[in-house]
Amino acid sequence: MSEIQDIKERLVLSEIIGQRVKLTPAGAYMKGLCPFHHEKSPSFHVNDQLGFYKCFGCGEGGDAFSFLEKYEGMTFREALEYLAGLTGVTLTNRQQTPEDKLRARVLAVLESAGEFYQKNLDQPVGKPARDYLQTRGTSQFLIKLFGLGAAPNDWQALCNHLHAQKFSDKEIVASGMARQKDTGRIYDTFRGRLMFPLRNHRGQIVGFSGRQLVANPDEGKYINTPETIVYHKGKMLYGLHEHAGQIRKNKMMLIVEGEFDMLSSSQAGVDYVCAIKGSALTEDHANLIARYTDKVLLALDSDGAGINATKKAIKVLRPHGVDLRVVMVAGGKDPDELARADAAAWREQVKKAVSVYEFFIQVITTSNNIRTIDGQKQALQQLGQVFPLIDNRLEYEFYLKKVADILGQDLDVVRADIQQWGQMSAEKNLLAAARTPVTPTPPKAKPTKRRRLENYVWFLFLQLLGVQKNVAAGSDYLLKTHWETPALQKLSRYWETFYRQHPQGTLKDFHQSLPEDFQQKVALLSLNQTFLKFLQKTDLWQEWQKQTMVLDQLIATQEIEGLTRELAALEKIDDPTLEQEKHKNDLLQKIVTLKKIGN
């Protein structure tokens, strides 16, 4: 038995998934809200017997390995080692792909670099960084919690440390911690900077951000690890790992832009906070956020970039069912400045977060001179891009009236202008989209009535096998039937081989005996949501008897139609041979026999 198969036999899939997704029993399987797309009614099913999950809403499905790869962002090798540890399986096959090996070494480089920078912070070389943190009022607790450190103002300090740890130039450069000259010599990426380790949601250091301690116009105030095999800026939420518990406890997440925005907010008592390290909220961010909370507070800048980022945040988060609100940072300050100056005021500002649409109305009406007609026209034009984002009619009317009151204009006039500007904006977007050619996807052919019925009959047999009821009778039927669906005909041969060797075998045994592609087919069939609903109102064995009879009648009817056409062709022959006459009699006899089944 392979190590992978051994792991699958030992693990209980619903326990692995249940640690991350709330599941409830539903007959022979578990179900819950899908973690891969937003839904209000559970369509995510987990079958422990087969070790398989399937969402009938978005189509995601697979085993424990694919779940961890998709949900946790693990590589297959990482999922293998994780599950082996949980199930007590000793991995004897330690072969890794070159990419797996490099990934593991890069993570080790980054962990070693984090330790190096942390130690430096307490040494004389770390004094500039310590002094800077003192001016920012950063507590020792947060310094330790987030592993802040110091990069010496030296071209080779970290490289020398990592070389002493037996890391190669290739591994150090691949981690983003060093750059390579044309001569081939490598040098430290971060020099003379306060260092922020960037941990993913699993707690692994995947990169660093470094802040300048001495002004240098030739370098940015902040620099980050470049994109690497483990670091992707669009997936990073700084502080998520450390604040995950507080986010779940408070049932909300505050999102700010930079490292010190996050640290100062946390120190001020608003510790359900993460930083996106910029203003761009991505789809990957949204997928991650939706696992932890369905309420997000945005505290971005109120300038043009911040407004555009907030608009994008609506579009990115809305499909995930996230309630989005905005913290209006007072006095043009950023969260870091306000939280350090007055922690209580910052906490109050966060409590007063307004709806995202309230935010747009406030910003747009205050940034335009609405005392003039031109200012009002400009405001309505900008709001025309915002109102189409409101998908709730009650909210739409509420905010429309609010705008009319602010402008002192008739409600119908405001409605007409906003709708006109919104329509023009939509047409502009459609024209832009039309310039991008789209290759139409041909529609899938619908399965025939017989193939749908065949799938249902096999589904019923799998349920019988799952409860070990009337398996022998069901097996006899499967093996005597010719299946129009090629995959089911092949599956019947697999069943015949298995049943001869294991007449008392279970559904799990049969499933594990199949090739991997058929394991997935059987798992998907056994979890078919439509079929499962039928079973909630009927007895399994009675339904099996009824549907096999219906299938027999359908097959008989189809065969009669074919034989009748063949007989009609023979009837047209004026002078048939003896062999043709005999064949006509045989056809008639078959039709009579089949009609008995059909009736």
DSSP state, residue 40 = S
Question: Considering only CA atoms, which of 159, 170, 180, 236 is closest in space to residue 205?
Answer: 236
Helix (H, G, I), strand (E, B) or coil at 205: strand
Residue 442 placed within a domain: no
Q: Residue 366: name the closest of 389, 387, 383 by CA.
A: 383
Q: How many residues does the chain have?
A: 599
Task: For residue 493, give both structure tokens.
Answer: 């041969």
Distance CA 18, CA 304 (A): 42
- Where is mean pLDDT largest: 115-119, 332-336, 409-413, 558-562? 115-119
Res. 215: pLDDT tops 80:
yes
Domain boundary among 35, 66, 87: 87
Percent of all residues in the chain with a pLDDT value above 70, rounded to a whole number: 94
Residues 29 and 114 in one domain: no
Instruction: Report the candidate in 545, 565, 561 with the shortest Cα–Cα distance to residue 594.
Output: 561
C-alpha distances out from residue 68 to 20, 97, 186, 231, Å: 10, 19, 36, 18
Asked whether residue 148 falls in the same domain as residue 26, the answer is no
Q: Is 599 a residue whose pLDDT tops 70?
A: no
Distances (CA, A) of 550 to 255, 368, 490, 493: 58, 72, 22, 23
HSE, CB side, 13 Å, CA atoms: give it for residue 360: 28
Shortest CA distance to 206 belongs to which of 128, 114, 290, 119?
Answer: 114
Instruction: Tell me the DSSP string of 489-535.
Output: HHHHHHHHHHHHH-TT--HHHHHHHS-HHHHHHHHHHHT-HHHHHHH
Q: Give me 355's structure tokens.
A: 């709806």
Exposed / middle / buried, residue 541 (Cβ in 10 Å: 0-12, 13-18, 19+): middle
The pLDDT of residue 434 is above 60: no
- Calculate mean pLDDT across residues 53-76: 91
One domain for residues 186 and 301: no
What pLDDT score was predicted for residue 597?
Answer: 64
Q: What is the mean pLDDT of the segment spanning 422-445?
A: 56
Determine the pLDDT at residue 437.
54
DSSP string, 409-459: --HHHHHHHHHHHHHHHHHHHHHHHHTS--PPPPPPPPPPHHHHHHHHHHH
* Residue at 92 is within a domain: no
Q: Is residue 33 part of a domain?
A: yes
Q: What angle do CA 492, 498, 503 make, to 5 degrees?
A: 110
| Token output for 395 | 């909210």
296 and 428 within one domain: no
Tell me which residue range forms the domain holding 244.
240-352
Q: What CATH number should be reported for the domain holding residue 269?
A: 3.40.1360.10
pLDDT(563) > 80: no
- Do 259 and 365 lie in a common domain? no
Dump pLDDT digits (tens) for 285-317: 999 999 999 999 999 866 667 777 888 888 888
| Least reliable range by pLDDT among 346-350, 478-482, 585-589 | 585-589
> Which range, of 92-96, 172-176, 546-550, averages the lowest pLDDT?
92-96
222 and 135 housed in the same domain: yes
Are residues 372 and 347 both part of a single domain? no
Quote the tokens at residue 428.
């502009």
pLDDT digits (tens, 9 = 90+) for 235-280: 999 999 999 999 999 999 999 999 999 999 999 999 999 999 876 8
Contact status, residue 150 vs residue 128, Cβ threshold 8 Å: yes
Q: Based on the domain organization, do 348 and 383 belong to the same domain?
A: no
Which of 205, 231, 257 is where one domain is finished? 231
Q: Are residues 458 and 590 in the same domain?
A: yes
Q: Could you tell me the CA-to-CA distances from 380 to 394, 397, 542 in Å, in that order?
A: 20, 15, 65
Which pLDDT tens digit goes with each residue over 355-408? 989 988 988 898 889 999 999 999 999 888 888 888 889 989 999 999 999 999
pTM: 0.78
Q: What percent of the chain has pLDDT over 90?
A: 56
Domain CATH code at residue 206: 3.90.980.10
- 169 has a pLDDT exceeding 80: yes
Residue 459 clears pLDDT 50, i.e. is over it: yes
Domain count, the chain: 5
- Mean pLDDT for 428-439 is 50
What's the mean pLDDT when you consider all of the chain? 88
Which range among 10-14, 48-52, 504-508, 569-573 shows the weakest confidence by mean pLDDT?
569-573
For residues 254 and 335, membership in a common domain is answered with: yes
Do 121 and 167 contact (CB within 8 A), yes or no? Answer: no
pLDDT of residue 445: 65
Q: Does 165 or 303 have the greater pLDDT score?
A: 165
> At residue 230, does pLDDT exceed 60?
yes
Where among 60, 87, 114 does a domain terminate?
Answer: 87
Write down the pLDDT at residue 558: 81
Q: How many CB atoms are closer than 10 A to CB 316? A: 21
Q: What number is the average pLDDT over the span 560-576?
A: 75
CA distance 226 to 228: 6
pLDDT score, position 430: 43
pLDDT, average across residues 499-527: 89
Are 401 and 516 within one domain?
A: no
pLDDT of residue 527: 85
Residue 440 lies in a domain: no
Asked whether residue 412 is domain-assigned, the answer is: yes
Over 80: is that where the pLDDT of 426 sits? no
Work out the number of other CB atoms within 10 angstroms of the CB of residue 460: 22
Supply the pLDDT for residue 431.
45
pLDDT at 300: 81
